[in-house]
Amino acid sequence: MPTVTSENKEEFDKKELAKRSMPEPVESHVTVHDREVPVTMHPIEKRTGDIMTHVNPDKFDPAFQKTSNYVGENGEGGIGNRYKEFGNFVKKADSMRASNVYIKPNGVPVFGDGRHRYAYLRDQGVKKIPMAMDKESIENAKKHGYLHED
């Protein structure tokens, strides 16, 4: 795999997209299990104006823990085997879709999709987790300190 730099990233992503025949453009990457996985957004999220952001799980997770939909360590409190199945999937996946979350003005996160994905990446030690959010949610996430600072 060639070295990806800021100068060749866009060209690299286009080539990877073409090779993998992915229908969505690569919006981000996440490193998990010693491999870089391209991250895309669902076409509906893209159409409705959601933007790829990145949360810091150390700051985001305490708010998520207070919700009734919290997925704890190793998938505790999650639905069936979704956590484990995502873990198996991401080890071989050509790409993955970002989780989608709405952040209320009071800081409460409401997942539309992907809480098990988020939890798995958190538990693997990923410190910059890609998330699709609308503009209002991004502002609320900034206000509450949830976003990863580059």
pLDDT (tens digit per residue) in 23-81: 678 899 999 999 999 999 999 899 999 999 999 999 999 999 999 999 999 999 999 99
- Percent residues over pLDDT 90 in the chain: 79
Alpha carbon 44 to chain centroid, angstroms: 16
Q: How far apart are the first and last CA of the chain?
A: 25
Instruction: Give every CB contact of residue 11 below 8 A, 6+ residues apart in sequence.
Output: none
Q: How far apart are CA 112 and CA 130, in angstroms?
A: 14
Q: How confident is the model at residue 7, as a pLDDT?
A: 72
Contact 104, 140 (CB under 8 A): yes
Q: How far apart are CA 27 and CA 69, in angstroms?
A: 26
Q: Is residue 102 pLDDT above 70, yes or no?
A: yes
Q: Is residue 21 pLDDT above 60, yes or no?
A: no
Location of structure tokens 């939909």: 69
Contact 99, 131 (CB under 8 A): yes
What are the tokens at 52?
């790829």
- Percent residues over pLDDT 70 in the chain: 87
Q: How far apart are CA 81 and CA 3, in angstroms?
A: 36
Look at the chain and count its residues.
150
H/E stretch holding 29: strand 28-32
**Model-level pTM?**
0.84
